[in-house]
Amino acid sequence: MARPMRLGIFLDSTAGILCFYWLSDDTRTLLHTFHSTFTEPVYPVLSILGGSLTLPAVEKLEMDHVPLGFTPEVSRERIGISYSFQFPGSGLYRCSLTGLVFRVTHKGEVMYRTEIWDDMLLQLSNKQPGGPLFSIQCPQDCISELQLPHCEPEPALVSDCLYVGHITDDGMSIIQPLKVTETHVAVRVPHLSGFGIILDRIKKIKAHLMKPIRGQVLLFLRHLHRPLNILSVILLPSNVPLQDVKEQHTDSKFIQAPSFSFFHKGKTYSLHSDPDGFTIQPKDRRPRLRKSLSADEKLRTVRPDFIYQVSNPVLNKLLDELQHCRVITDDEAEDIRTRTRSEKARELIDSVRKKGAEASSKMISALCSNDQYLSNELGLL
C-alpha cells in the first residue's frame, strides 16, 4: 500500500503570506511561498487525480518552525548589489530573493550581499564552494542562527561533506552544521561577517561522483544595434540568487521561463528550438582568423563582435586575469569595472590592443579559457 502524502498549508493573511509544505513525521519541507494582498476571506480548494483525500483537523503551526517570507530592499552598489531588511521582532524569516533564512531574537536590521570566494583559503582547507559567499551585517546582533540554501537533491547522502565557511579578517574557520534539511544548511552564528556553504573535496567525490545537483537555466535576450539578437543561456546551481545574475546582465532582458532542473558534472547540454516560420542560422561555424595575423590585429578584427557579444561575467574574469598578469594596472581595472557592459568591453579591448601583441595574446588566451563559445564564434579558436 502506498504511503500517504501529507501537505501542509500556512496562511498569514495580514502579512500576505501563503506557504505550502510537505509534512513527514515532525519534518516540514517548504515547497513554495506566495506573497500577495488578501482583501477577502481565503479558502482552500483541493482537487485530486485518482486516490483519495483526507482532511485532518486543523493544526496550528508554530511560528518558530515556519519562516515568514520577506522581500528585502535591493540597492545598487558601485560593484554589484546589496540587500537589507528590518526585522519587526523575534522569529524565523526567509529572504525571497536569496533563500537565506534568519532566526532572529529581537528587532533589528540586516544588510547582506554576495562576495567572491578566496580560492587560496579554500585550497588550504581542501574545500570547494557549495554556494554563494554572503557578507552579512547586523548592528543590533539580533541573528542567532543562519540557514544557507544548498543545491543537493539528496542531502542525506552528502551531509558529512557539507560545512559552512566563516570568513573573517583572520582567515576562514569551518563550522559544523546544526542540521542539514532538504533545502538548507543551518549554523549558529558567533558573530556576523562572511558565510557560505563549502564542500569537502575528497568526501564529496566519494559520496556522489555521479549524483546531480539542483540547478537553474536562465535566459537573457540582448538586442544589438544591428538586426541581431543574442540569447544567453546560463546554467547555474539553484542557490545562486537570480537578482545577482540579473545585475550582471543589465543590458539584457530576462526571459521568465520554467528554469529548475538537475545537472550532472561533465555532461553536455544543448538548447533546442523549433519556432514556426523561423529558421535558425548559421549552421556552420564562422571561418577562423588567419594565423598570420598578429594578436593585436586579431583583436582589432574581432573588436565590434567582441563588444556586442561578450557577457559581463566573462568581462569580470578577463579583468581579474589580466590584472593578475599585469597586462592592465590596478587603476585601469578599477576604472573599467565601474562602466556599463558595452563600455567595459570597449575600454578593455582597446586598452589591451594598444599595449601590443604580447598583451593582446594574453587577452586572447584568457578569453578562450573563459568563453570557448564566443572565442569560436570570433574565430579565435
Query: Which of 37-51, 103-117, 193-207 is predicted with the least confidence, judged by mean pLDDT?
Result: 37-51
State residue 8's pLDDT score. Answer: 78
Tell me the residue length of the chain.
Answer: 381
Tell me the mean pLDDT in the region 49-64.
60
Instruction: Report which of residues 22 and 322 the model is more confident about.
Output: 322
From 59-68, 170-179, 237-246, the region with the lowest mean pLDDT = 59-68
Place of cell 538548507: 184
What pairing do the DSSP bridges indicate for beta strands 101-104 and 179-180? unpaired
- The winner for highest mean pLDDT among 36-40, 214-218, 275-279 is 214-218
- When pLDDT is cut at 50, 70 and 90, the band that residue 351 belongs to is very high
Examine the pLDDT at 144 and tell me if it is beyond 80.
yes
- Contact (CB, 8 A) for 194 and 135: yes
More reliable by pLDDT, 31 or 204: 31
Tell me the mean pLDDT in the region 261-273.
75
The b/e string for 161-192 (b: 16+ C-beta within 10 A; e otherwise) is: bbbbbbbeeeebeebebeebbbbbbbbebeeb
39, 31 in Cβ contact below 8 A?
no
The arithmetic mean of pLDDT across residues 97-116, rounded, is 93
Q: Is 317 exposed, middle or buried (0-12, 13-18, 19+ CB in 10 A)?
A: middle
Task: Please state the rounded mean pLDDT for residues 46-75.
Answer: 70
Summarised one tens digit per residue, pLDDT across range 278-326 is 555 555 444 455 567 888 888 988 888 888 778 888 898 899 999 999 9
Residue of higher predicted confidence among 212 and 187: 187
**Of 137-146, 187-196, 205-214, 259-268, which gets the smallest average pLDDT?**
205-214
pLDDT at 98 (0 to 100): 93
Whole-number average pLDDT of the chain: 82
- Asked whether the predicted pLDDT for residue 253 surpasses 50, the reply is yes
Mean pLDDT of 41-60: 68
